[in-house]
Amino acid sequence: MKRLAVVRIRGTVGVRGKIADTLKMLNLEKVSTCVVIDDRDSYTGMLQKAKDYITFGEIDAETLKKLILKWGRLPGGERITEAYVTELTGLSIDDFVASVLNFEHELSELGIKSVFRLHPPRGGYEDIRKGYGQGGSLGNRGTDMVAFIEKMM
């Protein structure tokens, strides 16, 4: 199993009900929001259903660390610090991120919000109506997801 980052690309106008429900279950209710999930079958089916509104791919340790420190928020809007992670888990931020990617710990243990609110990508999206394989922004990016998230940080 592996961890996937999922980012919502398209807005809410004209979304069919079942797809809107799927996006809501994934906590992707706004454009440029990101969630980190695993690739179990139930999530894979949801990603397939919503593929025309999202992009997704594998996330690495360095990018996940940057996401947590730069965009991770506690309820109330407070930022996450390395000292907070160490105090709460007893692990350094690097060790905690590695354990999250190895499914030993979960991001929810930090008490952070489940959604990362990112900027739109620098340089803009590619075509938001085409799949990634056709030169657009939508669908499965695989390992190229890291570069896309970097453009959004």
pLDDT tens for each residue of 41-65: 999 999 999 988 999 999 999 999 9
Round to whole Å and give the CA distance between 27 and 18. 14
Q: Residue 55 is encoded by which pair of tokens?
A: 């992009």
Predicted local distance difference test score (pLDDT) of residue 130? 67
Range of the domain at 20: 3-60+116-152
Domain count, the chain: 2
54 shares a domain with 12: yes
51 shares a domain with 72: no
Q: What crossing angle do the helices spanning 82-89 and 93-101 adopt, rounded to 10°? A: 70
- Which residue did the predictor score with more confidence, 16 or 12? 16
Reply yes or no on whether the pLDDT at 128 is more than 80.
Answer: no
Mean residue pLDDT of the chain comes to 88
What's the pLDDT band for 18 if we cut at 50, 70, 90? very high
Percent of the chain exceeding pLDDT 90 equals 50
Whole-prediction pTM: 0.89
Round to whole Å and give the CA distance between 141 and 147. 10
